[in-house]
Structure 1
Amino acid sequence: MKYNNRQQTLLAQEFVDVLSIERNLGEKTLYAYKNDVDNMIRWIDLRHYDDLNDETVMMYFLYLQNEIELSCRSIRRKYVSIRQYCDFLNKTLEMNEVFFKFSSRKFQIPRNLPKTLSKAEIQSLIASVTAEFQNVSSDYHRRLCIRNMCIIELLFCLGLRIGEIAALDIEDYNREECSVLIHGKGKKERMLFISSPVVCQKLNHWLITRLEMNPQDSAMFVNKSGGRLSIFSIENIFYKYRELSKINPHSTPHFLRHSFATQLLNNGANIRDVQELMGHNSIVTTQIYTEVSLNRKREVLMKYNGRNFMNTV
């Protein structure tokens, strides 16, 4: 098709609007789609190409790969965004243009195993908050400790993302049932149950303490000014107790989420159940945790490996 900058700019915005309506994607995901398409449009414009076709698209991806040397993961994401945009162009403009003559297999993403914390490290992390709470010297620090204790507990107990922690409101928590409504990625919601009575007690204690911090809205976790705690503040809370507990110095809050999933599988949970608890769209995402679930592998091999039942020395 003939390239026209004004037309493409308008179509790119329409593409994002359609995605927002049809797929109910989150704001950050929509921004990523728009950014990927806009960058290609700018690249075509700067090079004064007359056509948007399979050759132009191929040249753009060679540029991403060879000139600016983007990672496989970044190129693969742009492939998905731009391919969907091109499909949108064909549908909207009633064309049958072939924009891609290569597949995403060209950009295979190396699979990295999820990084976890050991049971001892998690216990040490939780204990570091408890120890600080027992030695606080003011009401202000007492309130912060109770809040931080609940955040660390929920990161592991429910395997939450830091964004999900930040998005929690007090009405999302049902005290009688010890259940929490989680607002996940892509505006998807899931209901989780706090199975640990200790964690429930800590959260109930926090709800009373929270009122002392003059909350400005319904946010579950608030800062010293009473406003909603940001994801960056939650990260910093984790890093503080990471240092105090002297666990893996490279660990992040997401290590607790990985540990949650891995321990569920180690303890015999069904992978479909883990998928639902984690809020994964696809079981393929969840399956990577089976690679680090050594206890489960050991149990299966000890129980079913045919060599175990042979008497041959």
Structure 2
Amino acid sequence: MKYNQRQQLALAQEFIEVLSIERNLGEKTLYAYKNDVDNMISWMELRHQNDLNAEAVMLYFLYLQNEIELSCRSIRRKYVSIRQYCDFLNKTLNMNEVFFKFSSRKFQIPKNLPKTLSKTEIQSLISSVSAEFQTVSSDYHRRLCIRNMCIIELLFCLGLRIGEVAALDIEDYNREDCSILIRGKGKKERMLFISSPVVCQKLNHWLLTRLELEPENSAMFVNKSGGRLSIFSIENIFYKYRDLSKINPHSTPHFLRHSFATQLLNNGANIRDVQELMGHNSIVTTQIYTEVSLNRKKEVLMKYNGRNFINVV
């Protein structure tokens, strides 16, 4: 098809609106899709490409791969975004253009195992917040310690994403049965149960303390001004106690989510149950945790490995 920047930008916006309605995607996902398409449109404008066709698409992906040397993961994501955009163009403009003459297999993503923290490291992390609470001298810092304690606890005991923690409202938590409503990716909701009485006690304590910060909305976790705590602030809280506890210096808040899933499997949980608790759309996403679940591997090998039943020394 003939390339026209103004037309393409308008079509790209329409594409995002259709995605939002038909697939109910979250704001961050929609932004990523739009950014991927807009970047290709800008590249075409700079390179004076007159046609949006298979050759132009191939040249763009060669540019991503060879000139700016994007990672396989980034290129693969852009492949998905742009391919869906091209399908949208064919449908909207009643065309039958072949935009892609290569598959996403060209950009194979290395399989990385989920990175976790050991039980000892998690214990040190949680203890570092409690230790700080014992030493603070002002009411202000006492309040922040109680808040931070609850954030670290929820990241691990429920395996939450930092965005899910930031999105929590006080009405999402039912104090009577210790249940909490989580809003995950794609606006999907799931109800979880806080199984640790200690974590429930800490959260109840925080809800009373939270009022002292004069919150301006219903956010569960607020900053010193009373506004909702951002995901970046939650990351910084984790990094603060990570460094204080001297655990893996490269760990991120997502390590706690990986640790939550891995320990569930290690302790005998069914993979379907773990999928539901994690809020994964596909069990394929959850299955990667079986790769790091050593206890389950040990149990299977001890029970079923044929060498165990051969009596030859």
- Which of the five TM-score ranges fits, normalised by the shorter chain? over 0.9
| Counterpart-to-counterpart distance in 2, 1:296 and 1:190 | 26
Partner residue, 2:27: 27
Q: Provide, for residues 32-80 of structure 1, a one-character-per-residue CA deviation record: whole Å limited to 9, x for no partner.
A: 1111111111111222222111111111111111111111111100100
1:309 aligns with 2:309: yes
Aligned partners of 1:152, 1:4: CA distance in 2, in Å?
Answer: 50
Aligned pairs for 1:88-237 within 5 A:
88-237=88-237
Q: Please give the TM-score of this superposition, normalised by the length of structure 1.
A: 0.98
The superposition leaves residues 14-33 of structure 1 with CA deviations (integer Å, 9 ceiling, x where unpaired) of 00000010011111111111
SS for the counterpart of 1:153 is helix
3-state DSSP of counterpart to 1:191:
strand
Q: Distance in 2 between matches of 1:177 and 1:170?
A: 14
Stretch deviating more after TM superposition (116-125 or 229-238): 229-238
Question: What are the Cα deviations for residues 141-167 of structure 1, in whole angstroms up to 9, with x where unaligned?
Answer: 211111111111000000011111111
Report the TM-score, using the length of structure 2 for normalisation: 0.98
Structure 2, unmatched stretches of 5+, are: none
Give unmatched runs, 5+ long, in structure 1.
none
Letter in structure 2 aligned against 1:310: I
Q: Which amino acid aligns with 1:198?
A: V
Deviations for 1:254-299, whole angstroms, at most 9, x for unmatched residues? Answer: 1111100000010111111111111111111111111111111111
Could you tell me which residue of structure 2 aligns to residue 78 of structure 1? Answer: 78
Residue 262 of structure 1 aligns with which residue? Answer: 262
Distance, in Å, in 1 between the alignment partners of 2:310 and 2:270 is 30
RMSD of Structure 2 on Structure 1 (CA): 1.0
CA deviation map 1:116-135 (0-9, x unaligned): 10001101111111111122
Measure the CA separation in 2 of the matches of 1:27 and 1:103.
Answer: 27
- Structure 1: how far apart are the matches of 2:46 and 2:225? 47
Identical amino acids, percent of aligned pairs: 90
Q: Please, which moves more after superposition, 303-312 or 97-106?
A: 303-312
Residue 66 of structure 2 corresponds to residue 54 of structure 1: no
- Distance in 1, matches of 2:64 and 2:169, equals 41
C-alpha deviation, 1:303, in angstroms: 1.1
Cα deviation, 1:149-195, whole Å, max 9, x if unaligned, reads 11110000000111111110000001111111111112111111101
| 1:77-120 residue CA offsets vs partner (Å, 9 max, x unmatched) | 01000000000011111111111110000000011111110001
CA-CA distance at 1:224 after TM superposition: 1.3
Letter in 2 for 1:200: C
Distance in structure 2 (CA, Å) of the matches to 1:225 and 1:86: 46
Post-superposition offset of 1:136: 2.2
Distance 1:47 1:138 in 2: 60
- CA distance in 2 between counterparts of 1:219 and 1:71 reads 36
Counterpart secondary structure, 2:182:
strand
Matched, 1:63 2:63: yes
